[in-house]
Structure 1
């Protein structure tokens, strides 16, 4: 009896020891989910085993396929996307044993997801229990930040900080509610790109990105899906004509989509775009069982994830696919309910409140809202600039025009460069583009700042009146990773009117939005209250610039643009739009970047702040007349708050002792190399 007991113990030990060498039975994600996945009470209407809906099956197949590397899902609410995400986490942990990371837009969203979705799944899906023994315990392997399984690990991160994308080696990456992420994480780039970096080196890299879309112009999810090999919609065969089509919302005068009679939601049916027959929801549900995903390139994906071309021939899977699915496909939501939601939202929109209609568009239709957006069109500005460019006969470079009497600079600091935009200002707020230079190099190094100093303090611009103009004052952005380098440069050059500034993206009260003294930690030394940090009301400054760009007649407030500026400069200058965004204090309209690089616009904003700081709008005609007479006789005052007094004695420009001049060879122009960037205006033709 004892010998038999020992044999049983040895057999159990051998099975446990050899288990790690066993190859699991091949299984797709859909098969795994339908065998193991469970709908938990905390996050489901009904607690029960899960069965995939028809339109979910191909999404599951693509997420689980090693041949498809990226899956983008543009979705509405109530389509079961979160369940697909949870099933994928369980599948890749239990069946594939792959390291994973899941990002939510914020740390708080991450915590909520873990508590209400992930942990109930790990508790209720019994297949996860053998690989996650610490699921019910307080343990370092079971936290809000990490779930360590046997053979793999799941990292859980918020998406706002660049640090949350570092030091991860994973095979599967998920980004949930992607449209709610910041478009540029700590100045390091798009969150999708940062997450993709963590997959480099994986044998079978997998990225799953899903979100309800938001505003058309700024929606990260829409932009990302545009890069897919094909975009797919779920098609059913019409029971009347057998032609296939997707479910669409349509419109009152559209020959397809949802239609109802006399405002009665219960009468709603879907109009087939091919035969014009009306389909009931019950007919749709029957037809959906044999539906398929139809791509923008004519390819299809069936319920098992098999790709076919237009001729029906099996083809290799696309590496990157995008799906669009909305609430009408869900068998859990009646079409009549959708119509009632729309009617209520539309009624409020007619009274001036379009927020419910925008919510319906995003969360029910799964489409980006195309409301009114204020923006500057690059092509329109460039066309105007071509008309406004001006050159004196026989001269090789443009001149600063007669109306421009003061040169102000705005500097934007990036991780590998400092960009300087020089703007000319005249009476009445008239502005001219003058120059834009890029100084490449690490802003933590002295050489970069030596080149910047040589340009700001020694560069001379030829004025139409014959004088040599210098840059009068400069504002430098101190945001990003090189704040202390900017603080130190501003401190050493405060007598040259160099100001350290930082944008205040919302809640500002003025363009010049206050200031405070800050400490400087630089080169191992700490200087308490070493420099004044000025805050810039960036939204208000962009509002001012936008309003001035709407002025069509040269004169007070007009913004003159040079045709010598490059196409990239114009794209950057017009790279933001004013859109409605939800903030901690409610819905606000804020200027939001439409592209990664907008340095040209930022430099203009900082130059506008300098103009506000110098109170140029309140200067008298006598002051402007005196400035025009003595353009090159303006030594910098010792007090940065002092007005620039007209003087008759000329003062030679010398570089700051603490910032010696350096060769300007490292300065790379952002304009066409054929000629200089100093702009003048056709407005001067009427004055000559």
Structure 2
């Protein structure tokens, strides 16, 4: 008897010892979750064994497919995405024995995820108990930062710091609520790229990124899905015509999507885009079991994760795929409730509060929010570009139009270049694009500023009257890393009407929004009261530009765009929209960039500031006529406005630096220049006396 007991004990010990070397029979992730995964009471409507919904199965299968590197999911709330992530973590830890890392947008979001989602899953999924012996104890292998399983580890990080993307070598990475991450982590780049670096070298690397979207054009999740090889939507077959289509929100004037009668949510149906029949939610649920994912390239994915091309032939999967799914697909949410939420949010938006409508767009429809925004349309700009009226320098037919009487230059400062937009202006604020010039180089170097000086002060533009015009005034952006270089250039060239400016992004009261004196720390030498820094009301300037672009007839206010401008210039010029944004002072409607580069628009804004600074809107007809006569009569290289017409002077603002007005000489133009502070004059006099 004792011998048999010893043999049994030895056999058990051998089984336990050799278990670490055992290789489980390969099981697809869909089958594994169906058999093992469990919904915990803390994070589910119903505590039970998990039976994945039809639209979830292909997502699960794709995450478990070793031939797919990246799976992106742009989603709404209430579609079970968090459960998919938890099931994936359990599958790769227990079945695949792979090291993993999950990033949440912040450390606090990571902590909440671990406590409310991850730890209940590790407790309730029985198959995890065998690989996680420290789950019930306080142990260094069971913390908010790491879960150490037998054969693998799960790291848990916040996504704010670049340090949280270092010192990791894993096979599977997850980025949850990706739209809430910073777009540039500590200046080191996009969080998706930083995460992908941690997978390099893995035999079967896997990156899973998912989120509800946010603002259109700025949403990280939207940009991620746009970069996928294919974007899939879940299609069902219509019970009336057998054609397949996705469930869509549609719209009042769309021939598909949700439709209801007289603001009554109970009447909601889905209109088939093929046969025009109305489908109930019950009919959708009945057809969902046979649904499949369909991409714009014609490829499909069935519930088992099998890929087929547009001809129905089985093919290998794309390397990087994206899914879009929204609340209407969930059997846990009624279509009537979705419509009710929309009607309530829409009613508030009608009286000016669109926050709930935006939330509905993001969390129910799973779509980026654009709303009612002011924007400069790219195609409209290109269509209105003028071919015959004028051309840019370098063209044989380059002429500054007759009504263009003054040239203003706005300069944008970047780390590796300066960009100068030259705008011509005439009576009534009529504008022309005259030139756009780029000077490449580091603005910390003298050569770059020498090149700018040569361009601003020596460039000549042929006027239609036969004379040549020079640039009359320039405004240079001092934002960024080269403010002191801009201040020094403006100080040295203030008599040539060069102004240092900086945009005021919100809270501005005027386009010309005040000024202040700034010291210059130029290469170790401090120049006290060195230059005047002028503030630009950027939102108001863009509002003015947007309104002028609506003018379609020649004359006051018209904006003329040359057909010689590049496609990139048009993209930059139309790269911002005016939309609601939350600031420290509350919700504001501000112009917001939809792309990284908008230098062409910024240069135009600075030119409009010069227009306001020179007070051109208040000039009389006689002033403009005298300028035109003088332009026709003067020698080249000496274009100046005529003497001022008498009239009231605008009051100085409290934050502006002004000096008593000196009697104007006959040749002095009626254009304000940066005022000289009294303190600076006194200091100069004192220094001369000492010499």
Shorter-chain TM range is 0.7 to 0.9
Aligned to 2:110: 114
Classify 1:387/1:457 alpha carbon distance in 2 versus 1 (closer, same or farther; 3 Å). Answer: closer
Give matches, 1:296-335, under 5 Å: 296-335=296-335
- Retained in 1: the 8 A contact 2:477–2:500? yes
Instruction: Indicate yes or no: 2:632 matched with 1:632.
Output: no
Alpha-carbon offset, residue 403 of structure 1 = 3.8
- Retained in 2: the 8 A contact 1:269–1:280? yes
Whole-angstrom CA distance in 2 between matches of 1:484 and 1:13: 74
- Retained in 2: the 8 A contact 1:633–1:649? no
Aligned to 1:665: none
- Retained in 2: the 8 A contact 1:36–1:125? no
Structure with higher RCO (Cα < 8 A, 6+ apart): 1
Aligned to 2:428: 428
Whole-angstrom CA distance in 1 between matches of 2:14 and 2:615: 83
Q: Secondary structure at the match of 1:471?
A: coil
Q: Secondary structure at the match of 1:547?
A: helix
Deviates more, 1:367-376 or 1:550-559: 367-376
Alpha-carbon offset, residue 297 of structure 1 = 2.7
Deviates more, 1:470-479 or 1:330-339: 470-479
Whole-angstrom CA distance in 1 between matches of 2:625 and 2:253: 63
Q: Secondary structure at the match of 1:443?
A: coil
Whole-angstrom CA distance in 1 between matches of 2:623 and 2:90: 73
Classify 1:514/1:135 alpha carbon distance in 2 versus 1 (closer, same or farther; 3 Å). Answer: farther
Q: Secondary structure at the match of 1:437?
A: strand
Whole-angstrom CA distance in 2 between matches of 1:50 and 1:601: 53
Aligned to 2:545: 545
Whole-angstrom CA distance in 2 between matches of 1:525 and 1:99: 54
Aligned to 2:344: 344
Deviates more, 1:509-518 or 1:37-46: 37-46
Classify 1:618/1:250 alpha carbon distance in 2 versus 1 (closer, same or farther; 3 Å). Answer: closer
Aligned to 1:102: 103
- Retained in 2: the 8 A contact 1:42–1:117? no
Classify 1:430/1:56 alpha carbon distance in 2 versus 1 (closer, same or farther; 3 Å). Answer: same
1:161-194 deviation line (CA, Å, top 9, x unaligned): 9998889877655554455667788999876567
Aligned to 1:230: 230
Deviates more, 1:525-534 or 1:70-79: 525-534
Whole-angstrom CA distance in 2 between matches of 1:69 and 1:542: 43
- Retained in 2: the 8 A contact 1:122–1:129? no
Aligned to 2:437: 437
1:592-630 deviation line (CA, Å, top 9, x unaligned): 333332211111112222332333334455665666636
- Retained in 2: the 8 A contact 1:327–1:333? yes
Deviates more, 1:204-213 or 1:128-137: 128-137
Whole-angstrom CA distance in 1 between matches of 2:171 and 2:498: 48
Aligned to 2:453: 453
Classify 1:492/1:466 alpha carbon distance in 2 versus 1 (closer, same or farther; 3 Å). Answer: same
- Retained in 2: the 8 A contact 1:101–1:170? no
- Retained in 1: the 8 A contact 2:236–2:288? yes
Deviates more, 1:440-449 or 1:523-532: 523-532
Give matches, 1:66-465, under 5 Å: 66-88=66-88, 95=96, 97-98=98-99, 100=101, 102=103, 104=105, 110-126=106-122, 127=128, 147=146, 154=155, 156-158=157-159, 172=172, 174-178=174-178, 204-214=204-214, 221-222=221-222, 224-237=224-237, 244-250=244-250, 257-258=257-258, 265-266=265-266, 268-270=268-270, 280-347=280-347, 356-368=356-368, 371-387=371-387, 389-390=389-390, 396=396, 398-465=398-465
Give matches, 1:642-681, under 5 Å: 648=667
Aligned to 1:58: 58
- Retained in 1: the 8 A contact 2:42–2:120? no
Classify 1:189/1:545 alpha carbon distance in 2 versus 1 (closer, same or farther; 3 Å). Answer: farther
Aligned to 2:472: 472
Alpha-carbon offset, residue 440 of structure 1 = 1.8
Deviates more, 1:20-29 or 1:494-503: 20-29
1:62-120 deviation line (CA, Å, top 9, x unaligned): 2332322232323222112233344445655674534546363xxxxx24421322343
Alpha-carbon offset, residue 317 of structure 1 = 0.4
- Retained in 2: the 8 A contact 1:39–1:121? no
Classify 1:419/1:73 alpha carbon distance in 2 versus 1 (closer, same or farther; 3 Å). Answer: same
Alpha-carbon offset, residue 542 of structure 1 = 0.8
Unaligned runs of 5+ in 2: 123-127, 642-655, 670-691
Alpha-carbon offset, residue 42 of structure 1 = 5.7
Alpha-carbon offset, residue 575 of structure 1 = 2.4
- Retained in 1: the 8 A contact 2:429–2:558? yes
Alpha-carbon offset, residue 483 of structure 1 = 4.2
The structure number with the bigger radius of gyration is: 2
Classify 1:266/1:139 alpha carbon distance in 2 versus 1 (closer, same or farther; 3 Å). Answer: same
1:519-569 deviation line (CA, Å, top 9, x unaligned): 666656777876554432222111111112222333332223223322322
Unaligned runs of 5+ in 1: 105-109, 651-688
Q: Secondary structure at the match of 1:386?
A: coil
Aligned to 1:682: none
Whole-angstrom CA distance in 2 between matches of 1:277 and 1:384: 42
Deviates more, 1:222-231 or 1:64-73: 222-231
Q: Secondary structure at the match of 2:597?
A: coil
Classify 1:402/1:292 alpha carbon distance in 2 versus 1 (closer, same or farther; 3 Å). Answer: closer
Q: Secondary structure at the match of 2:473?
A: strand
Alpha-carbon offset, residue 498 of structure 1 = 3.6
TM-score normalised to the size of structure 2?
0.74
Aligned to 2:563: 563
Alpha-carbon offset, residue 325 of structure 1 = 1.3
Deviates more, 1:368-377 or 1:257-266: 257-266
- Retained in 2: the 8 A contact 1:231–1:324? yes
Whole-angstrom CA distance in 1 between matches of 2:142 and 2:470: 62
Whole-angstrom CA distance in 1 between matches of 2:220 and 2:665: 51
Whole-angstrom CA distance in 1 between matches of 2:129 and 2:532: 56
Q: Secondary structure at the match of 1:609?
A: helix
TM-score normalised to the size of structure 1?
0.75
Q: Secondary structure at the match of 1:123?
A: helix
Q: How many residues align?
A: 632
Q: Secondary structure at the match of 2:455?
A: helix
Aligned to 1:676: none
Deviates more, 1:115-124 or 1:18-27: 18-27
Classify 1:619/1:76 alpha carbon distance in 2 versus 1 (closer, same or farther; 3 Å). Answer: same
Whole-angstrom CA distance in 1 between matches of 2:291 and 2:409: 60
